[in-house]
Amino acid sequence: MCRQLRWNASMPTPSAAPKLLDVARDRIRTRHYSYRTETAYLLWIRQFVRFHRGRHPRELSGPDIEAFLSSLAVDRHVSASTQNQALAAILFLHREVLGIELDWLDRIVRAKRDVRLPTVLTKDEVTRVIGLMSGTASLVCSLLYGTGMRLCECLLLRVKDIDFDYRQIKVVYGKGGKERMVPFPSRLTEPLATQLERVRAMFDADRAAGLAGVQMPYAQEVKHPGAGATWGWQFVFPAKFLLRDRGSRRWLRSHVHPRGIQRAMAQAVRSSGIAKPASCHTLRHCFATHLLERGQDIRTIQALLGHSDLNTTMIYTHVLQRGGLGVVSPLDD
């Protein structure tokens, strides 16, 4: 998700004939897909049309889609998951935008995804990496490791989602629109309180300047006019600069851009000398694995991570096997 609103001066007026991408964008938003899904789908639809030299998708059939997917694998060497994402975008275009339901759509073969084990850092490695960061990046990455949240889930936190009394944090905009509760790390009580003091100072300055407030999700601004200018709806990690809303053209405050946190994490990993390819999402893997090592039951970890399928959570048990299926090497004998 992590949506960053920008005003697009080239957006069509209500009287203009809607273009294919504009209709696709409307269909995606009607179904409340995330902003990242919207961006990815529109990108693949644009590349699909460009690959076939501007021909309208109504004129294309199954072999044309297979030719595009084959080109992605053979010429561009994309992964199976990327190829499947492109296929999902094309199927959405035909079914939801063009209203085409043909037999060949169901016969399109999806690429088989590789099964890869997640990278996991030890507790000492996590401490080294986070210790090399400072400011907002340090606090965000500490929350990722301490709660198991995804990066965008953390950046989308509002003041009202953090409960200091009950020691819990509410993830409202999880993957798939699922809400869940995650633990409140006691060690972050003071840093979070200090962060909210900074947010409060920024909030008071925005109110004094007469700004509209922060970005609001979906139709919350319509249901609760002015809620974006209230304290509870402020982002825990607000951006320094304002963005212009595409619809209302008001200047609003968004959250910190994820790219800045990702760069800080990458720099910390390089500086630590750790050879593992760790990223912000690696801290989520560490959260689950270290809980398993401590004896936490797998069902609880599934709920904390927000997984619908237990098999998704079971992949973290590979670390507990201490090598290939827990087998002791004969060389050690």
Residues noted as catalytic: 150, 175, 281, 284, 307, 316
The residue count of the chain comes to 333
C-beta of residue 266 within 8 angstroms of C-beta of residue 294: no
**Phi/psi of residue 252, each to 5°?**
-125, 160
Task: Check residue 117 and report its DSSP letter.
Answer: P
19 to 22, 24, 56, 91, 101: CA distances (angstroms): 5, 9, 11, 18, 21
Amino acid at 269: V
Selection from 283, 253, 244, 248 nearest residue 159 by Cα: 253
Q: Give residue 308's Cα distance to chain centre.
A: 17
Comparing CA positions, the residue from 185, 182, 226 lying closest to residue 207 is: 226
Tokens read off for 190: 């003071």
Contact 277, 119 (CB under 8 A): yes
First to last CA, the chain: 51
Element (DSSP H or E) covering residue 193:
helix 189-208
Whole-angstrom distance, CA of residue 159 vs CA of residue 7: 26
Task: Give phi and psi for 132, each to the nearest 5.
Answer: -90, 0
- Distance, CA of 177 to chain centre: 11
Please, are residues 288 and 301 in contact by the beta-carbon 8 Å criterion?
yes
Q: Look at residue 159 and give its three-state secondary structure.
A: helix
Euclidean distance between CA atoms 255 and 275, whole angstroms: 31
